[in-house]
Structure 1
Amino acid sequence: MNYQYPLDETWSTEEIVDVINFFQMVEKAYESGVNRDDLLITYTKFKQIVPSKSEEKKLCGTFEKSSGYSPYRTVKKARELERDSKLRM
C-alpha cells in the first residue's frame, strides 16, 4: 500500500477508524473478497460520518485515484448481491 486514506482532520478518532475500516473493506473486496453484509455495515457507518453525496464522491474519488479501487463500484455490486454472499471485485 503506497497511498494514504483521504481523511478529514475534524473527524474524531472513532470516525477516522470507521472511515478507514470502510476503505480497508473495499481493498479486501478487490484483493481477497469480503462478506457483502460486512461491507455494507461499514458503508453505513461511513455514510453517517460523510452524509453529503458531494463529499462522499470527493473522498471516494481521491481513494480510487490513489489506490485503483472503486468504493462506488464495490458498494453498487454489494447491493446487487443476496444477503450473506461473498463479494469479490
Structure 2
Amino acid sequence: MRWTSALAIYFLFWSLCVFFVLPMGVRTTDETGGDRIPGQADSAPHRYDAKKVVIRTTIVSTVMFFAFYLNYVYGWITPDMLDFFSPPNRLT
C-alpha cells in the first residue's frame, strides 16, 4: 500500500470516528446546573472542548486504522470470506 493511500484511508477513519467521539462526555446545561440561554436547545452541550474531541478522535482512529492495516498485511478477513451470496464450490 502506498503511503498516500494509507493517509487517505486514515483520513476516512478519522472523519468517521469524529461521529463516534462527539457524544462522549457531553453534559447539557441542565446536567451541570448552569443557566440556560433563551432559545437554547435542551440537548446543547454546556461547554464544547474541540481539543478533547480532536485528541480522542485521533486515538480512536489510530487504533482502528492499525487494525485495518494489520488485516491488510496478514489477510485475516478477505473479501472471499464475506461473499454471502455465492454458494461455495463443493466439487472437490
Q: Which has the higher strand share?
A: 1
TM-score of the two chains, using structure 1 as the length reference: 0.30
Q: Which has the higher contact order (CA 8 A, sep 6+)?
A: 1
TM-score of the two chains, using structure 2 as the length reference: 0.29
Larger Rg over CA atoms: 2
